[in-house]
Amino acid sequence: MRYAQIISTGSYAPDRVMTNDELDHLLGERVGDWLVQNVGIRERRIMGDDQVTSDLAVNAARAALDKAGLTPADVDLLIVATDTPDYLSPGTSSVVQHKLGTRNAGTFDVNCACAAWVTGLDIGSKYIATDTAYNHILVIGAYGMTRYVDWTDKRTATLFADGAGAVLLRAGDKPGFLGAKLIADGSFHDYMGVFTGGTAKPTGGADESPRQFVKFQKRFPPDTNNKAWPQLVRDLMAKINRPVSDINKIYFTQLNLNTIKFVLNDLGLTLGHTHTIMDKWGYTGSACMPMALDDAIAQGKGPQPGELVVFVGSGGGAAFGAAALEWV
């Protein structure tokens, strides 16, 4: 048997910091206190004018490779999870391969919004389990959503940020990756997104404004994740034949601190089982779970060998995913 094991992590947050006080000034009203109390965000990072999504991904991937003592040439497959690509086509993974120098790696992108990284983790783990040609796989979540933010719209300006997180998977002879559960509800496809650039609305149309923004076109039910995440975790635990009480560490999409607290309580877990980063890095979409994992490890709060680790993500579409592994 071959199992995918996470052997190293990396993350990257751009240098530019935007505080809640700056947002108060931009928006002309006080939003910072509400953000801290209801979402958990105190500040966020914004990529520089000279940066694009692939640059964020490369920095996170390089950190993961350095920690593992491997070179870009050792990577067999490169998966980039993002819904803010450099281009509509070609895939951002191709750009990352070139910039990083992973000349031996195959590449592809995964886009199921903010659930893309946990989906990429599932895909990469199954490549390792089923094909001996793949021994080292980079799974990178990268997010450059501030390029699509209208800084006069408090619904989006208060939330989105930029960043990247990466894990390096290795083939091993013991768990490792145990399983995943992916679900979706496509009836939410037109609720939130950047609704341009595809065949539904090609760029360059006569009715197109000079710049397109991320939009909440409809309101998600406020309890969407409160309902979906606990059931998703329970279904995953049943799939791998383990009780929820066995979970040692669990990392969530970093969208809302109060939601994370609610779900932990529902599952019979505590804040000590998780790690959050939205307070200092804002919401980084498909990058936030590997960024949270890497930050926890850097602070000495990461998983220990033999512990059961679960990732739970959700994103527009709507897409949801959870994955479980034993830490090595």
Q: Are residues 51 and 90 in the same domain?
A: yes
User: What would the pLDDT profile of 185-202 be if each residue is shown by its tens digit?
Assistant: 999 999 999 998 888 888
DSSP helix/strand/coil, 143: strand
Q: Is the dihedral of CA 128, 131, 137, 139 positive or negative?
A: negative
Predicted local confidence at residue 206, as pLDDT: 57
Nearest of 256, 295, 318, 38 to residue 163 by alpha carbon: 295
Identify whether residues 166 and 36 lie together within a single domain. Answer: yes
Total domains in the chain come to 2
CA 41, CA 34: separation in Å to the nearest integer? Answer: 9
Mean pLDDT value across residues 204-226: 82
pLDDT digits (tens, 9 = 90+) for 267-282: 999 999 999 999 999 9
Residue 211 has a pLDDT of: 75
Q: Is the pTM of this model over 0.95?
A: yes
Of the candidates 132, 158, 174, which is a domain's last residue? 174
On whether both 194 and 293 belong to a single domain, the answer is yes
User: Is 282:45 a contact under the CB 8 Å cutoff?
Assistant: yes
Distances (CA, A) of 250 to 175, 182, 263, 295, 320: 17, 16, 11, 14, 15
Phi-psi region of 268 (alpha: psi -120 to 50; beta: other; left: phi over 0): left
Please provide the distance, in angstroms rounded to a whole number, between the alpha carbons at the two ends of the chain: 16
Alpha-carbon span 51 to 14, nearest angstrom: 9
Beta bridge partners of 166: 10, 140
For residues 44 and 156, state if they share a domain.
Answer: yes
Q: What is the CATH number of the domain that holds 22?
A: 3.40.47.10
pLDDT of residue 199: 86
Residues 125 and 216 in one domain: no
Two structure tokens written together for 28 = 């002309």
Nearest to 286 by CA among 69, 38, 93, 33: 93
Of 127, 150, 174, at which residue does a domain stop? 174
Rounded to the nearest 10°, the torsion over CA 18, 60, 5, 295 is -30
pLDDT per position as a tens digit, 41-83: 999 999 999 999 999 999 999 999 999 999 999 999 999 999 9
Q: Of 142, 174, 206, which marks where a domain is finished?
A: 174
- Average model confidence (pLDDT) across the chain: 96
- Place 203 in a pLDDT band, splitting at 50, 70 and 90: confident
Sign of the CA dihedral running 125, 136, 288, 276: positive
Residues 169 and 183 in one domain: no
Integer-rounded Cα Rg, in Å, for the chain is 19
Q: Please report which confidence band the pLDDT of residue 212 belongs to, taking 50, 70 and 90 as the band edges.
A: confident
Does residue 207 carry a pLDDT above 80? no
Residues 204 and 314 in one domain: yes
Give yes or no: residues 137 and 182 share one domain: no
Report CA-CA distances (Å) from 42 to 105, 161, 280: 38, 12, 6
Domain boundaries, position 145: 3-174
